[in-house]
Amino acid sequence: MNIKIALAGNPNSGKTTLFNALTGSNQFVGNWPGVTVEKKEGKIKGYEGAMLIDLPGIYSLSPYTMEEVVARDYLLDERPDAILNIVDGANLERNLYLTTQLTELGIPVVVAINMMDVVNKRGDKININKLSSSLGCKVVEISALKGTGLKEASKAAIDAANSNENFAAAHRFCNNVEQYINDISALIKNKVSNDTLRWHAVKLFERDENVIEKLKLDKTSSDIIQKIIKTAEEVMNDDSESIITGERYEYISKIINDCYKKANVGELTTSDKIDKIVTNRFLALPIFAVVMFIVYFISVTTVGTWATDWANDGVFGDGWHLLGIGASDYEKAAEEYEPYGLSLAAFEEAMEAQGINKNEAENLTATAYVYATLKKNFQ
């Protein structure tokens, strides 16, 4: 049994932690072809022949970043047997955007809701069964950090990879958009595999340049697709990409309403409470001014003065004294030199009174200098 499972998820969703936990030390690190994006593969522990491929962390399957292009090219061209989609349960709404796109690829998807330790600590509840039926795929709860639910996640991914059933997304756009997608699908059905038909149709509707370039459609089909998109944009009063994005978020927000129950609905977190005060339209500027004054005050008095004095006198002046260490030696030596310093100052004062330039005095011998001083005094 040789199966390939792609691990996909948002940056910071815990993908690396999960990858390391599932593969242990069975890892191979390289680069994705032609780009400097790191590629990691590893054998899943306990499943000989099951390879986990760590895709770059991405927020969507758009063609805007190198990571997104690498991930979607892999999913479309290599066709892994399953996708293990790691989702940050503490930020479910944002993370599910990618999930809505992954489920359109015709590849079996298993969603692993990570950070369940954080979700449980907050007292929030996720209805896994409802979420699973809304997304149309298996959903498991895990904590990659604590190591909980990992066996269930890897088993679910292996089962999905071995299932020979066709995988189809549960999500449907509104009737109008579905009609436009179906019309585009009819035009390209001979150009792409049945599995990826819906994904390609959605991408063409969004005017995805990479897909347009790859499919190399004839002029008639391209013109018809452009007409479909223009009609959609006129009817729905928005550009086609925003129409799809808006529809996805509407679907996600319905899922969140149905499946996610917050423990402290309406209660503000500490961070929210602070935000409410410091971003208040009347208080924000005075608070900013007070903070800036405090920063200025501290930097020119107290801490600032201590630091400057220590740097000037300690580091660059009298010698290196850290927290007084070595200071007593310095003070003893300074005491010994003090009479010489005072004598020198008195001597220089006398020279000045006699109109003798200090620079000239350095060129005179002591006798000559004393003679010159006396002579001046008695003339």
Site for ligand BGO in 33-92 (CB under 6 A): 57
Residue 127 in the binding site for ligand BGO (CB under 6 A): no
What is the nearest approach in angstroms of ligand BGO to the Cβ of residue 325? 34
Pull the structure tokens for residue 156: 């679910």
C-beta closer to ligand BGO: residue 112 or 181: 112
Could you say which of 44, 50, 98, 115 contacts ligand BGO (CB under 6 A)?
115
Closest residue to ligand BGO, based on beta-carbon distance: 14
Phi-psi region of 123 (alpha: psi -120 to 50; beta: other; left: phi over 0): left
What is the nearest approach in angstroms of ligand BGO to the Cβ of residue 121? 8
As a whole number of angstroms, the distance between CA 10 and CA 94 comes to 9
User: Binders of ligand BGO: how many residues, by CB under 6 A?
Assistant: 17
- The total number of residues shown for the chain amounts to 379
As a whole number of angstroms, the distance between CA 165 and CA 355 comes to 108
Long-range pairs of 182-186 with CB within 8 A, sequence gap ≥ 24? 183/228, 184/225, 184/228
Exposed e or buried b per residue across 64-83, where buried means at least 16 C-beta atoms within 10 angstroms of its C-beta: eeebbbbbbbbbbeeebbbb
Give the x/- contact pattern for ligand BGO in 133-152, rule: CB under 6 A: ----------xxxx------
Q: Which stretch binds ligand BGO (CB under 6 A): 14-22, 38-46, 130-138, 207-215?
A: 14-22
Residue 351 in the binding site for ligand BGO (CB under 6 A): no
C-beta closer to ligand BGO: residue 67 or 238: 67
CB atoms within 10 A of CB 159: 13
Q: Please give the sequence-ordered ranges of beta strands (E in DSSP) within 68-185, or none if there are none.
A: 82-88, 109-114, 125-126, 138-141
Residue 16 in the binding site for ligand BGO (CB under 6 A): yes
C-beta closer to ligand BGO: residue 12 or 242: 12
Q: Which stretch binds ligand BGO (CB under 6 A): 12-20, 162-170, 202-210, 254-262?
A: 12-20
CB neighbour class for 122 (10 Å; exposed up to 12, middle 13-18, buried from 19):
middle
C-beta closer to ligand BGO: residue 11 or 317: 11
Residue 6 in the binding site for ligand BGO (CB under 6 A): no
Residue 14 in the binding site for ligand BGO (CB under 6 A): yes
C-beta closer to ligand BGO: residue 69 or 90: 90
Q: What kind and span of H or E run contains 41?
A: strand 38-43
Contact positions toward ligand BGO, by CB under 6 A? 9, 11-17, 57, 114-115, 117-118, 143-146
